[in-house]
């Protein structure tokens, strides 16, 4: 599964990997949504550090999780973005909904 979830009392982080496309996105959504609905974390972080490719399904994935977390008053961050995916996120307007952060080595 291209997502692993870790939780603390302050945040839940979903570590995404591989490709996020229309084949993978539904399973990723289900796993994240199940964990979020059970725990209702104050902050959901989607970590794209190991994502190699993303199509428009990735934007939908982020927007849907944002709506879910917002429904109970939580917040969201999209972190560790590779440069190309960061550009797509900025163009899509995701930064108006959630904090987005470049991968650390991409900043150097």
pLDDT of residue 25: 95
Q: Quick one: fold of 3-107?
A: Transcription Regulator spoIIAA (3.30.750)
pLDDT of residue 2: 85
Q: What is the CA radius of gyration of the chain?
A: 13
List the domain boundaries for the chain: 3-107
Give dist(CA 68, CA 31) in Å, integer. Answer: 13
Give dist(CA 54, CA 72) in Å, integer. Answer: 28
What are the average pLDDT values for consecutive 10-residue runs of the chain, which has 108 residues?
Answer: 92 97 95 98 97 95 97 97 94 93 70
pLDDT of residue 108: 45
The alpha-helical segments, DSSP class H, found in the chain are 25-39, 56-70, 83-92, 104-107
pLDDT of residue 104: 73
Give the tokens for residue 87: 């550009």
Give dist(CA 61, CA 20) in Å, integer. Answer: 9
């Amino acid at each position: 599964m291209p997502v692993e979830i870790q939780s603390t009392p302050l945040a839940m982080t979903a570590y995404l990997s591989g490709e996020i496309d229309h084949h993978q996105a539904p399973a990723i959504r289900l796993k994240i949504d199940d964990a979020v609905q059970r725990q209702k974390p104050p902050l959901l972080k989607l970590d794209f550090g190991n994502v190699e490719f993303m199509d428009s399904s990735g934007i939908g994935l982020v927007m849907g999780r944002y709506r879910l977390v917002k429904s109970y008053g939580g917040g969201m961050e999209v972190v560790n973005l590779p440069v190309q995916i960061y550009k797509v996120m900025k163009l899509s307007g995701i930064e108006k909904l959630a904090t987005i952060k470049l991968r650390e080595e991409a900043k150097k």
